[in-house]
Structure 1
Amino acid sequence: MNRTRRPDWVPLLGHQLRRTGIHFDAVRIQGVRGEAVAARLIEATGGRAGPIVCEASGFRWMYFLLPPGTSRTYAWPLGVQRFGAGQRTVAYVGVPALDGNTWPLLWQSRPCALAPFVDPAALHALLAPEAGVPAPA
């Protein structure tokens, strides 16, 4: 069963900014490429990809929320941005509530009991072949 689980960093209403590296790390991919990666990851996980936030306006960023401290474990391909602890700048990601009006942020995939975060290894495996990036040793 794929029950939605509301982590404490998900607001009850609307949306809120959350600092990366504390509650989660984030990998950000723009537009059609991000949408395609999200669709492939959701399909590959049988609908249990973990939290993926879509910014539905502007550049249409797709944010893949990973366990804290895991984004720096991988060499991400060109055009994929990572945000988390241990970086020079502080970054915030908008997180929508699970229900109600959260425009322009939407859940492409929600956190659930079986997938409280996106699996960084699975996400990297989908992205690495397109740039010839080797998996970590």
Structure 2
Amino acid sequence: MNTQSDLGWIPHAGIQLRKAGVQFDAIRVDGGHGRVLADHLARMTGGTPGPIVEEANGRRAVYFLVPVGSTSHRTWPAGVTRLTAGPNRISYIPVPALNGSTWPLTWRYRPTAADHLVHTLLLRSALHSPG
């Protein structure tokens, strides 16, 4: 795994919001379905699906960090929220530190390299498959 300095978008402590469209965009899936989807995607990729953040409270959201612009011009099923940037649109994605107190956010799957994000087409495929 790269050091935290190689992944400059990860905070050194706590949680920070990152503006979508700069380093990445995100797909948010709420509830248990997001966790099942994350694990299914991990099986599809040999355990390295890319960075996935999960929330322990509220809507129990799961955030799949995907390449900038990769979610546009595609249909997404109900229950999926795209966090992107564009004309008259700004979204923010919560990102926890790799270590320390970050509750209610944690890494379900930690980032492994600066340029390794969740593959958008694999994510769409996993959303449409039974698991």
TM-score over 0.5 for the pair:
yes
- Asked if the contact 2:85–2:91 (Cα under 8 Å) also holds between the matched residues in 1, the reply is no
Q: 1:51 to 1:87 in 2, by over 3 A?
A: farther
Say which is worse superposed, 47-56 or 81-90, in terms of deviation: 81-90
TM-aligned CA deviation for residue 85 of structure 1: 2.4
RMSD: 1.8
* Cα separation, 2, equivalents of 1:79 and 1:51: 20
Partner amino acid, structure 1, of 2:51: P
Paired residues for 1:57-136 under 5 Å: 57-86=57-86, 88-113=88-113, 116-129=116-129
Q: TM-score, normalised by structure 1?
A: 0.85
Percent sequence identity over matched residues?
Answer: 43
Query: Does the alignment pair 1:54 with 2:64?
Result: no
Where structure 2 has 5 or more consecutive residues not aligned to the other structure, the ranges are none
Say which is worse superposed, 110-119 or 67-76, in terms of deviation: 110-119
* Cα separation, 1, equivalents of 2:3 and 2:26: 19
Q: TM-score, normalised by structure 2?
A: 0.89
Structure 1 stretches of 4+ with a deviation exceeding 3 A read none
Where structure 1 has 5 or more consecutive residues not aligned to the other structure, the ranges are 131-137
* Cα separation, 2, equivalents of 1:115 and 1:48: 13
TM-aligned CA deviation for residue 40 of structure 1: 0.4
2:30 maps to what in 1? 30
